[in-house]
Amino acid sequence: MIEIKDLLEKFGNILLKEELKKSLIRETISKAINFQISPEDIKIKKGIIYLNIKPIYKNELFLKKDQITQALEKSLGKKSPKKII
């Protein structure tokens, strides 16, 4: 029989991976647009990055979108998000 602690440990590892992914995305975008984004402003759902930032920074982000997606693919591999909104 599977113990509850084993199941909770598995979910804990999944949550840590998501936090790591979010921090890598935050660092990559912050380097590209020269603006620090808080972790609360980033949401990831179904391979899409949702950002809650000012429009001026979003415009700069969309200008450098190819550079950012390439950097994310390099650091995250196949599991990197493909869209930024």
pLDDT value of position 11: 67
34 φ/ψ angles, rounded to the nearest 5 degrees: 55, 45
For the chain, the structural domain boundaries read: 4-84
Checking if the pLDDT of 26 tops 90, the result is: yes
Q: State the SS3 of 10-42.
A: HHHHHHHHHHHHHHHHHHHHHHHHCCCCCHHHE
- The model's pLDDT over 29-79, given as tens digits with 9 standing for 90+, comes to 999 999 899 989 999 998 899 999 999 999 999 999 999 999 998 988 887
Please state, as a whole number, how many other Cβ atoms lie within 10 Å of the Cβ of residue 63: 12
β partners of residue 64: none
Residue among 31, 28, 50 nearest 41 (CA): 50
pLDDT value of position 56: 92
pTM of the model: 0.78
Checking if the pLDDT of 1 tops 70, the result is: no
β partners of residue 44: 49
